[in-house]
Amino acid sequence: MIEQTKLSDGLQIFETLESEVRSYIRSFPTKFKRASGYRMWNTEGKSYIDFFAGAGALNYGHNHPGMKAKLMDYIMADGVAHSLDMATEAKELFLARFSDVILKPRSLDYKVMFPGPTGANSVESALKLARKVTGRQTVMSFTNAFHGMTLGALAVTGNKFKRSGAGVPLNHTISMPYDGYMGKDLNTLNFIESFLNDSGSGISLPAAVIVETLQGEGGINVASTEWLVGLADLCKRYGMLLIVDDVQMGCGRTGSFFSFERAGITPDIVCMSKSIGGYGLPMAITLMKPELDLWEPGEHNGTFRGNNLAFITATEALKFWESGNFSRDIEVKAELVRNVLEGIVRSLQGLNGETRGIGLMQGIAFEPGVADRISMLAFERGLIIETSGTDSEVVKIMPPLTIDGEGLAEGLRILTECVYEAAAEIKIPVTHV
């Protein structure tokens, strides 16, 4: 008879059996059991407010009731769960609704590709397509960019630690300074253009430029609308394709469905994943202008492109975008977050905090060590909040977009207390303003 391993009170099996590569369990060391909306509960029934939202995969919260009902109905009716890229009714419904609710009202003419269901795979498909269409090899990316962990996506990612995990050279890319990287007064686009113009620069013309309009993992760096408009113009003038990686900033994180809407630009290719499936189910899409759709059948494929359970919840999630109310609601909450963060920075001036971000992707950058301490204190008090930036220097506030006023206020109150506590530990006085 096979002996049955007993479930433990703690995290033993994760520590003994699960690979050392595990990471979030180290920041949030408890065993979760249940989740609803913006709350999670561990096995002991302790409640946590979620200001992490599955790293952007839970923009509509945990177990959204409408999506759950549609999913349950579909499963109970023996709806097709897996289908590679065969035609299913679930996929048809998603495509039709995505076109009606998202693309048409924005006058966007894109073909929709279903790559493997991760952000990294969407990025891989975008890079491949750009190279195929232009016949060029180099792709330009930016300092502090994050695009995923597979080799192609890593090659356009900035983080040294993550890059070194590749174990092989990461070629055919060039990293250029993101907006603000060279100080407030220097427009990095001029610097980039001088390279493109100079036959002595050592750079061949890139196939494409891949950019996040707001770098989430890289430290909540916001590209200005002027810079984004300038970048789109630069791409056009030099014949480089513009790829916007909206894996984390898409689906409303910055207020609008696509993060590039605030700049009024139209990328050639758009990568989406995380919250596109609505419910936290794996799904990704790559959008491309129709004239770029030069794929041969099956030239990029993947077993889990047809995750119909995700198509069901993704279709339901589009209800949020039928009017402008959701965007307006996000902006109201964003304003509240901004006020609280600015208040913290003003009253603890010795911490040299800097508020960053837009929409419900905001944070405060501190000197190294402080943000990690705040995240740890917050977890003890029932708030899940992660850090970002190369040195984990930014506390990153990323609640579900559906969070209500009460949850947001409670989370922000816990956060404020934790910043004060972290400041007191390193003897930073309160500034009375």
**Contacting residues toward ligand PMP, per CB under 6 A:** 55, 118-120, 123, 146-148, 212, 216-217, 245, 247-248, 273
Closest CB to ligand PMP among residues 146, 379? 146
Q: Which residues of 291-319 are buried (b: 16+ CB within 10 A; e: fewer)?
A: ebeebeeeebebebbbbbbbbbbbbbbbe
- Give the list of residues 6+ apart from residue 104 with CB closer than 8 angstroms, or none: none
Distance separating alpha carbons of residues 243 and 212, to the nearest angstrom:
9
144: how many CB neighbours lie within 10 A of its CB? 21
Closest CB to ligand PMP among residues 91, 147? 147
Closest CB to ligand PMP among residues 62, 253? 253
In the complex, the smallest distance separating the C-beta of residue 153 from ligand PMP, rounded to whole angstroms, is: 7
Q: Which residues of 45-76 are buried (b: 16+ CB within 10 A; e: fewer)?
A: eeebbbbbbbbbbbbbbbebeebeebbeebee
In the complex, the smallest distance separating the C-beta of residue 33 from ligand PMP, rounded to whole angstroms, is: 24
Closest CB to ligand PMP among residues 148, 306? 148
Judged on CB neighbours under 10 Å (0-12, 13-18, 19+), 272 is buried
Distance separating alpha carbons of residues 113 and 306, to the nearest angstrom:
11
Closest CB to ligand PMP among residues 128, 413? 128
| Two structure tokens written together for 289 | 């202008």
In the complex, the smallest distance separating the C-beta of residue 216 from ligand PMP, rounded to whole angstroms, is: 5
| Two structure tokens written together for 350 | 């010795």
Closest CB to ligand PMP among residues 148, 158? 148
In the complex, the smallest distance separating the C-beta of residue 382 from ligand PMP, rounded to whole angstroms, is: 24
**98's torsion region: left (phi>0), alpha (psi -120 to 50) or beta?**
alpha
In the complex, the smallest distance separating the C-beta of residue 123 from ligand PMP, rounded to whole angstroms, is: 6
Distance separating alpha carbons of residues 75 and 98, to the nearest angstrom:
22
Closest CB to ligand PMP among residues 149, 203? 149
In the complex, the smallest distance separating the C-beta of residue 124 from ligand PMP, rounded to whole angstroms, is: 9
Closest CB to ligand PMP among residues 188, 215? 215
In the complex, the smallest distance separating the C-beta of residue 347 from ligand PMP, rounded to whole angstroms, is: 31
Which residue has the closest beta carbon to ligand PMP?
A: 119
Closest CB to ligand PMP among residues 217, 372? 217
Amino acid at 156: V
- Give the list of residues 6+ apart from residue 321 with CB closer than 8 angstroms, or none: 101, 102, 252, 257
- Give the list of residues 6+ apart from residue 375 with CB closer than 8 angstroms, or none: 27, 385, 386, 387, 395
245: how many CB neighbours lie within 10 A of its CB? 31
What three-state secondary structure class fits 323? coil
Closest CB to ligand PMP among residues 90, 123? 123
In the complex, the smallest distance separating the C-beta of residue 115 from ligand PMP, rounded to whole angstroms, is: 10
In the complex, the smallest distance separating the C-beta of residue 273 from ligand PMP, rounded to whole angstroms, is: 5
Distance separating alpha carbons of residues 123 and 220, to the nearest angstrom:
20
In the complex, the smallest distance separating the C-beta of residue 158 from ligand PMP, rounded to whole angstroms, is: 12
Amino acid at 158: G
